[in-house]
Structure 1
């Protein structure tokens, strides 16, 4: 199923009406290959001719998050960003100078986290790792 269709079905399950503007916003969100914030999505949808309001963007994102189809990422000192919840587990590196977000997976880190939790008598239910970085000069 296409991601935009999945988003639309999630909104319908939440009782949200799918307007032409909201459908255009869903296509913009589905096409995002970065981690846009609400303002960036609003700008992209506006550029695509959606005629959507910023309030509609926020309401739509909130409904999608409540349905579990997108994740809200709150990185230090930045506006909340969003990504689809359908991907495999990954962690994030956030460039503190540019705001660029890089996804990564590292099996050594995953194994070490599980080992540390086990040593302390726990098992990991879920986790999120964020590395705040800057390019070496």
Structure 2
């Protein structure tokens, strides 16, 4: 139940971040795709539904990974925090494909909001199995 609330919290901060960036600040979230091999890049919009779905998928993936680690390792917490931190850091490659600086900053902010919410929220739900050294 607590982990479900963490996922909902991540979706909530994503929605707030999108509302601040798009309707309030007027940023048009556009990213470039393709463009390799001499072909021009195609620009796609990032809409509200995409932001919500991405937050849900990230949250579910994080919850599943944590549950698997808790069942299979003695130091699930340590492993999960390291993997989650690395995943958050690597997610910033996405905003590098932004069509402009404002979009890049908005997308980086959304990644940070969702990632930190999931990282901190799930870290508080980690179950340690005895012996709990390094949990």
Of the two structures, which has the highest relative contact order with CA contacts closer than 8 Å and spacing of 6 or more? 2
Q: Which has the higher helix share?
A: 2
Q: Which has the higher strand share?
A: 1
Under a length normalisation based on structure 1, what TM-score does the superposition of the two structures give?
0.35
Under a length normalisation based on structure 2, what TM-score does the superposition of the two structures give?
0.36
